[in-house]
Amino acid sequence: MITTRTPSHPLTQAFNRMDTLARVLDQVLPDGSRGAAPVWVPALEVAERADAYLIAVELPGVREDQLDLSFENNILTVRGSKAPTFAAASEGELRVHVFERPTGAFERAVRLPEYVEGDRIEAQLVNGVLQITVPKAPAAQPRKIRVGTAGGAPQLGSDSAQEAQNS
């Protein structure tokens, strides 16, 4: 007997049932019967450091050779596919009791600001998470601007500025 955890919120239960139905239909109906091939959308995070943008994409069960990264017109695209764990062709007759892990093709695209160095993008697949570093161009990196005085005019807060105000 298989037991499953049931979410307590009714809306969550409804979405889980819809997701399960979509997965079953993707498995049963031939490609094109429901419009497009089955697609899953991996979760991602985008963060920014002073020198780079950091992108993490959750891809459990996906190997490096199943991934394709491209960068064009400041859009970073991650494409790939994930095969099902159990394939009916290799396992013989197969009766699936629970099918919750997403499989199939996926694609995520992230639009980046104009000032990035696309030729220096680095990516690593670590423990099922694709970690991408997109360096910022020097023009986009923060820099400190020194403020000086013009022609020796007194600065506010200095003794000579206070003296000029008092007279």
pLDDT, residue 161, reads: 47
pLDDT tens digits along 63-121 = 999 999 999 999 999 999 988 877 766 667 777 788 778 888 999 999 998 889 999 99
pLDDT, residue 40, reads: 79
pLDDT, residue 7, reads: 54
Q: Per the domain annotation, does 148 fall within a domain?
A: no
**164 or 27, greater pLDDT:** 27
Report residue 120: phi and psi, to 5°.
-115, 15
Counted domains in the chain: 2
Residues 55 and 27 grouped into a single domain: no
Helix (H, G, I), strand (E, B) or coil at 21: helix
Average the pLDDT over 24-34 and give the result. 60
Residues 73 and 28 grouped into a single domain: no
Residues 123 and 88 grouped into a single domain: yes
Residues 25 and 83 grouped into a single domain: no
**Residue ranges making up the domain that contains 67:** 39-140
Strands 67-72 and 104-111 come out as: unpaired
**CATH number assigned to the domain comprising residue 123:** 2.60.40.790
Residues 134 and 79 grouped into a single domain: yes
Q: How far apart are CA 120 and CA 141, in angstroms?
A: 15
Residues 79 and 124 grouped into a single domain: yes
51: alpha, beta or left, given left = phi > 0 and alpha = psi -120 to 50?
Answer: alpha
Instruction: Judge residue 35's burial from the number of C-beta atoms within 10 Å of its C-beta, 0-12 exposed, 13-18 middle, 19 or more buried.
Output: exposed
Residues 13 and 28 grouped into a single domain: yes
Report residue 73: phi and psi, to 5°.
55, 40
**55 or 21, greater pLDDT:** 55
Residues 22 and 96 grouped into a single domain: no
Kindly state the tokens that stand for 154: 């007194």
Q: Per the domain annotation, does 121 fall within a domain?
A: yes
pLDDT, residue 90, reads: 64
Residues 45 and 30 grouped into a single domain: no
Residues 21 and 86 grouped into a single domain: no
Q: pTM above 0.75?
A: no
Residues 85 and 47 grouped into a single domain: yes
